[in-house]
Structure 1
Amino acid sequence: MTDSAQESVARSLALRDLVRHRDHVLRTIDGLGESELDHVAAPSGWTPRSMLSHLIHDVESFWLRAVLGGDGTAIDQLRDGWRAPPLPGPALREAYRRETALGDAALARADLNAPPLWWPPVEVFDAPRLLTGWEILLRVIDETAVHAGHLDMAREAMDGHQDLVVG
């Protein structure tokens, strides 16, 4: 297999994994009403609503559109997802779907072997620089998977709902 064929397979598998984790997030919050979206899930005070806002702003928009893609609109609209104004449930779900579609478009244009097109100033994001699009993509997959698990725990504590239980 050629290097470009191997890279194409790797990209396809990574994107499939990202889609699977995003779907997991949406399945986990499916059916939650407004009060359940505001159920405090951890001592830090996060709720399913604030977690989804974090995924929208701090994961999808920040990493994919702003950092990876250098999208000026995304950069201008950056905000702390934990502190963003809360959206009603249907609008929140739609915003997540819309932002993931925009993230997919940024990924489709991206050269994953190249450096990201933008990096935030240190006063905005004081963390080690990620060097390639692959690192950005893996960061987004990790964040989405971890937070899907957090949402699973919150949902199970609320109403016993479990996602993809084996055994």
Structure 2
Amino acid sequence: MTRERSVLLEHLDTERRHVLAAVDGLGEDAMTRPGAPSGWSPAQLLNHLTYDDEIFWIGAVVAADEEAISLVQDGWKVPVTTGAEAVSRYRRWCRRNQDVLEGLDLDAPPRWWPPAEVFPFPPFPQTRDCVLRLLVETATHAGHLDVVRERIDGHQHLVLG
């Protein structure tokens, strides 16, 4: 594994763990109740991270995995069944994608790109761009979950000073 890939994957793993820590111990009501003014719940945010990030960027775009491609959809619109199921699905796709990421050539082009009517943006030239997009999305939404968690029960992820 190259040093760059190793560092990227270490940071991604840290942010994935941060996401899971932010929802750890929350009951079903807290997982499915709107936590932000826009109306999303922690479980809906996990659906977004699962479908729009893990499944889309790594499973479909980077790996061209047929199951992942068949699951490409707007993760915000995936119905929430239970908070526990949203956590379980997120964990499963993170584990599944880890194998793909460990063997990744960051300089290679993505293996699949969605049609313009699904995703009207030009293809990324390298898989590196997909991994960076996943890292940024995961870190950003980990912070969102921190704010919602603090509003729910006062828990803070990291407090300095």
Given the two structures, how large is their TM-score scaled by the length of structure 2? 0.95
How many correspondences in the alignment? 161
3-state DSSP of counterpart to 1:57: helix
CA contact (8 A) 2:51 2:71 kept: no
Work out whether residues 69 and 110 of structure 1, in 8 Å CA contact, stay in contact via their aligned partners in 2: no
> Match for 2:131 among 137, 144, 152?
137
1:157 matched residue in structure 2: 151
Aligned AA (2:85): A
Q: Which residue of 1 aligns with 2:53?
A: 59
Matching residue within 31, 42, 48 for 2:42: 48
Following superposition, the deviation at residue 164 of structure 1 comes to 1.5
Structure 2 regions of 5+ residues with no counterpart? Answer: none
**Equivalent in 104, 113, 121 of residue 119 of structure 1:** 113
- The 4+ residue runs of structure 1 with deviation greater than 6 A are none
Residue 78 of structure 1: which of 53, 60, 72 is its match?
Answer: 72
Aligned partner of 1:19 in structure 2 is: 13
CA RMSD in angstroms, aligned pairs only: 1.3
Could you tell me the TM-score, scaled by structure 1's length? Answer: 0.91
Alpha-carbon distance in 1 for matches of 2:121, 2:148: 28
Q: How far 1:119 sits from its partner (Å)?
A: 0.5
Higher alpha-carbon deviation: 147-156 or 127-136: 127-136
Tell me the CA shift for residue 97 of structure 1.
0.9
Q: Percent identity?
A: 45
Do residues 147 (structure 1) and 160 (structure 2) align? Answer: no
Q: State how far apart, in whole Å, the 2-side matches of 1:158 and 1:78 are.
A: 31
